[in-house]
Amino acid sequence: MMDLLTHNAKETRAFAARLATQVQRGDLLLLHGDLGAGKTTFAQGLAEGLGIAAGVTSPTFTLVQEYRGGRLPLYHFDLYRLGGPDEVFDLGFFDYLEQGGVVVVEWPERLGESLPTERLDITLSAAGEAERTITLLARGARHTQLLTALEEQA
C-alpha cells in the first residue's frame, strides 16, 4: 500500500508520470474516485511519462482511446457510460490486456464481477479544493512488484 497527498493537478500528473516509468506490458491500472477526483488528470500524467505526445482527454462518445508513439501503447478506458457488464465483452476489454500495452481504466466499478485479480487499484479522493489523496493498492504478484519498484525508486 502506498499513500500520498498532492497539492495541485501538476503534482498528480508528475506522480503518475513517475509510475509510468515502471509499468510493463499487460499492466492494469484502475482509477477509482468521484467525478472531478482527478482520474483523467492521472491518466494524462501516465501518457506523459510514457512519452506519448498526444494529450489524453475525457472521451465523450468512445469508451476506449488508444495512444501510441510512447514507450508502450496506452489504452485509456472511461467506463462511465458503460451500459452493463455485457458491454464490456462487446468492447473487447479483456483482449486489450493481451495486446502488449498498459491499460488504465476510469470507473472500473462498471466491470462488476469481471474485474481481473492482477491489478493496481488507485484511489483518488478530494481532500481540499486542490488537494487529493492518492492511495495505491497492488493485487497479484506482478502489480506488487510494480508498487515495490515505485517505492524503491529514488
Q: Max alpha carbon distance in the chain (Å)?
A: 43
- Please select the residue that binds Mg ion; options are 58, 62, 145, 153, rule is CB under 5 A: 58
Least separation, in Å, of the C-beta of 152 and Mg ion?
30
Q: Which does 110 bind (CB under 5 to 8 A by kind): Mg ion, ligand ADP, none?
A: none
**Edge-to-edge strand order for the sheet containing 132-139?**
2-6, 132-139, 119-126, 28-32, 102-106, 74-78, 64-67
Of 36 and 100, which has the nearer Cβ to ligand ADP? 36
Q: Which of residues 76-135 bind ligand ADP (CB under 6 A)?
A: 106, 130, 132
Q: Which stretch binds ligand ADP (CB under 6 A): 34-42, 96-104, 111-119, 142-150?
A: 34-42
SS3 60: coil
Of 125 and 144, which has the nearer Cβ to Mg ion? 125
Q: Does 57 bind Mg ion (CB under 5 A)?
A: no
| Residues in the chain, overall count | 154
Q: Which does 12 bind (CB under 5 to 8 A by kind): ligand ADP, Mg ion, none?
A: ligand ADP
Considering Cα of 11, then 30, then 91, then 36, what sign does the dihedral take?
negative
Q: Which does 146 bind (CB under 5 to 8 A by kind): ligand ADP, Mg ion, none?
A: none
Q: Does 153 bind Mg ion (CB under 5 A)?
A: no
SS3 56: coil
- What DSSP character marks residue 128? S
d(CA 146, CA 127): 26
